[in-house]
Structure 1
């Protein structure tokens, strides 16, 4: 009978007091309703139920042959029965019902906290994905603007090389529009994109730009977040005054092992400020945000500036 009433008060707790009072932060009504529920159920269990089942005059009678008389007693003391008087039935039932109620309340609170934590994680992931999509949408138009500017400048010089540049641009757009939709891509695809970008840029002039590259990949299965390194190259091309060719340079070095990628790019610093277009300026900040989201505690970015050069070092730890 006690078990049935415990189930009853837990049902009240789950379907009424917790969702309608406790979870809505109505702590005083929740406390009052809980105390009233426990007391009322205990009274019913102690008084009404036994009388309904056994009758109002039900008592425990002594067996045949039992003789009334005083029970055992301590020497010169009260009867032993008066000392070992057990707790009342009401108190025992109250304790059992209250313990069940409190445990059920704690379980409900724990489950609520767990659900809240799951919701926070889901919302955080959704926010990160939204931010990453926004950052990607900032990268692609910036790249396209620069590439089209290069092709436009080349079209006035050499139509044959313009066709080559369009072919390079086609490969690059295929990478940006399709492969970059994936969370990670093979590192050699990112390297191909960098090389095509340099080729596209180099077609602007018949002279050879002082751009050097060194790529050393130990494992062809190494993967990286797409479009992560390009803004550094864009920044170097934009601020090195590389079109001057004389006394300018861009050095790119990338080494990769199974667990780490080291990227280094250094470009000359012109003696006079370079006049750049108003579009852009989001590249490096964009990369910093993406690194914080995609490689938290697993990247090291150093940007150093001297009187003669800018140098960027990026180290990525690919696995925890």
Structure 2
């Protein structure tokens, strides 16, 4: 449908250009003694043969130019142009025979052929330029399409990487409750099934509503809070009224996971804070937690999720995001800022 529309536009543009070219001699001859015969002989006949040269090249011969058969291309064009010049001169003679010049001398015929050949090379050059422009445009479109395919493949890979990572962390959390809190473990499995349903059916899209994403975060925070002791306090500050904004799914879950992985101690008091602010077309999400770094042997703190987040933000929101993390007074702070427009 799009190519058909472009084709109609191209035909209309060609028609308009040739209409203007054929009308210009009429406009310039207004007020002069020229009649229709003079216009045809001196201008329109030339334009007709120039159009023939242009479209023979534009539609047929140009492919040989781009197939590295340039010598053949120019040889055929030279024969075509010489034949057209001959027919043009013959038609002009039939319409109005040339009058003898004073003194009986006329410029050599070769000079007329040479000048007309230069004139007829103009449409040849235009056909080359237009087709070259088309090829460049097509190459750019193919590159953009290839880049989009690569982008989608990379995003899909990151999503597939994120989901097993999320599932692994959740199962690890449930496993730790099986012995000392079996009831909580059962409740956690039920909560995890709801989260996995969200992952299966809600995230296979480019954009998801912000309200659904916040609901998913709340459910995950509730799931992770089941195994916490009184030493750990979790605070959430999400907007009560969430505007109808669309974002890429699973953008903030990696920060939330990271906060629970590094913000909990079995013996020391710890705090975990989650905050979301919506400022016109910007979303600010902040997670801060007490910092208890994992040891090298603890693979739950491998950092896959945060690195995954950095890559997805770079691909999905180029020049429309900020991601900062720092350690401040014993609290690890991670902040994401998104522009949704």
TM-score normalised by L of structure 2 = 0.75
Structure 2 residue corresponding to 1:149, chosen from 157, 172, 175: 172
Contact 2:261 2:300 in 1 (8 A): no
Measured in 2, the distance between the counterparts of 1:271 and 1:135 equals 25
Q: Quickly say closer, same or farther: Cα 1:59–1:187, change in 2 above 3 A.
A: closer
3-state SS, counterpart of residue 180 of structure 2: coil
Superposed CA RMSD: 3.4
3-state SS, counterpart of residue 170 of structure 2: helix
Computing the radius of gyration from Cα coordinates, the structure with the larger value is 1
Structure 1 residue 283: Cα displacement: 1.1
For residues 159-206 of structure 1, the C-alpha deviation after alignment (integer angstroms, 9 at most, x for no partner) is 322232122112111111110111111212222222222221222245
Contact 2:210 2:242 in 1 (8 A): no
Measured in 2, the distance between the counterparts of 1:142 and 1:284 equals 11
Measured in 2, the distance between the counterparts of 1:86 and 1:21 equals 30
For residues 216-262 of structure 1, the C-alpha deviation after alignment (integer angstroms, 9 at most, x for no partner) is 2554312221111111111121122x142633221111112441101
Structure 2 residue corresponding to 1:264, chosen from 276, 282, 286: 286
Contact 1:265 1:312 in 2 (8 A): yes
3-state SS, counterpart of residue 181 of structure 1: coil
Measured in 1, the distance between the counterparts of 2:112 and 2:77 equals 15
Instruction: Summarize the alignment of residues 280-295 of structure 1 with structure 2, pairs less than 5 Å apart.
Output: 280-295=302-317
Contact 2:213 2:250 in 1 (8 A): yes
Instruction: Summarize the alignment of residues 1-320 of structure 1 with structure 2, pairs less than 5 Å apart.
Output: 3-4=48-49, 6-7=51-52, 10-12=55-57, 14-16=59-61, 18-22=62-66, 24=67, 26=68, 29-30=69-70, 32-47=71-86, 60=97, 71=102, 88-205=111-228, 207=230, 209-216=232-239, 218-240=241-263, 242-244=264-266, 246-270=268-292, 273=295, 276-277=298-299, 280-306=302-328, 308-319=330-341
Q: Quickly say closer, same or farther: Cα 1:253–1:275, change in 2 above 3 A.
A: farther
Structure 1 residue 13: Cα displacement: 5.4
Structure 1: gaps (5+ residues): 63-67, 72-78
Measured in 2, the distance between the counterparts of 1:190 and 1:208 equals 28
Structure 2: gaps (5+ residues): 1-44
Bigger CA drift: 298-307 or 179-188? Answer: 298-307
How many residues are paired up?
A: 296
Contact 2:51 2:123 in 1 (8 A): yes
Structure 1 residue 42: Cα displacement: 2.7
3-state SS, counterpart of residue 249 of structure 1: strand
Q: Quickly say closer, same or farther: Cα 1:201–1:169, change in 2 above 3 A.
A: same
Measured in 2, the distance between the counterparts of 1:198 and 1:263 equals 15
Measured in 2, the distance between the counterparts of 1:141 and 1:236 equals 18
Contact 1:231 1:287 in 2 (8 A): yes
TM-score normalised by L of structure 1 = 0.80
Measured in 2, the distance between the counterparts of 1:271 and 1:59 equals 99
Partner residue, 2:27:
none
Measured in 2, the distance between the counterparts of 1:52 and 1:271 equals 93
Q: Quickly say closer, same or farther: Cα 1:34–1:271, change in 2 above 3 A.
A: closer
Q: Quickly say closer, same or farther: Cα 1:235–1:20, change in 2 above 3 A.
A: farther
